[in-house]
A and B are shown apart, each in its own frame.
Chain A
């Protein structure tokens, strides 16, 4: 079954996502790249805050919380045992 690219904001809790596209622009894009949100890298979806936003992600062994504004612009595919 071919995987389809979904935004990080829609990914299931506990799943692992292999990133393929970052559509955030400007300085924030640069910053996300610096933190490890780069195509090919794997991100674990850790936890939603009580109101659903922001969401915590583990990237390069560091937990980083992103607002929906940004996480909805970062795309990737499910990988590993959590594959849907």
Chain B
């Protein structure tokens, strides 16, 4: 019996919660995470021999330290390290939505991109080349309509394959200007020495260059706590610590 933790990330109003409800049926409950005022819903469902614990992160346009809900979503992906993060995109507004997708891809390779509202897009005459998106992003990309239960099985197939390692995504890496890249090259070895490989080194280096003090504070706090959960182990037994 396998058990995996899946996080749902995406812009507000892309249908994350609809997908959440579609997947979990009536078994969802909301939980208030310690020290936060933002509510994340959590639910569970089984499929074949596999149990999925699914976390509905707050809808955000970004995953930087702009607001409490963005920090909640960011901290979950970085520190709780779900087995798979599903990035839910609104098919009718891909341009803005892909901003968040790229941010998540910088944080973790274990991502499945899910283009929701595909029926709505079709109605509007929007055609989406999933294969191309998947190729360019380097992660599986599935079209669904959470409201009308289209594509859900396909989505879960891909999620399971990424969770159990059948598919190892190779996300596109954004190359920045020479100036930023040379700073990253200086920072990354130092970060790796300090934090080990528990966290995405390049992403942390980028946040440091960004002057993200809130992330630094959170990191320090996490470092002082006894290491109860080893990030890498999440991959095998799929149990993350939640407060």
Contacts and interface: CB of A to CB of B under 8 A. Distances in A.
A60 B64 contact: no
Contacts of B65: 27
A30 B99 CA distance: 12
B66 interface: yes
Interface centre among B92, B93, B96 (most CB of A within 10 A): B96
A81 interface: no
Contacts of A3: none
Interface in B89-128: 92-93, 95-96, 99
Contacts of B96: 34-36, 60-62
Interface of B: 61-62, 64-66, 92-93, 95-96, 99
Interface of A: 27, 30-31, 34-36, 60-62
A51 B99 CA distance: 34
A60 B61 contact: no
B218 to A, nearest CB: 16
Contacts of A36: 95-96
Contacts of B92: 61
B62 A34 contact: yes
A60 B93 contact: yes
B93 A30 contact: no
A60 B62 contact: no
A27 B67 CA distance: 9
A60 B95 contact: yes
B66 A27 contact: yes
A62 B92 CA distance: 11
A27 B92 CA distance: 27
Nearest to A59: B96
A62 B99 contact: no
A38 to B, nearest CB: 9
A82 to B, nearest CB: 22
A34 B96 CA distance: 7
Nearest to A31: B66
Nearest to B64: A30
A35 B66 contact: no
Contact of B62 (A30, A61, A62): A30
A62 B61 CA distance: 12
A66 to B, nearest CB: 15
A37 B70 CA distance: 19
Nearest to B96: A60
A36 B95 CA distance: 9
Given A30-B66, A60-B95, 14 more contacts: A27-B65, A27-B66, A30-B62, A30-B64, A31-B66, A34-B61, A34-B66, A34-B96, A34-B99, A35-B61, A35-B96, A36-B95, A36-B96, A61-B96
A59 to B, nearest CB: 8
A70 to B, nearest CB: 15
Contacts of B95: 36, 60
A57 B157 CA distance: 40
A29 to B, nearest CB: 10
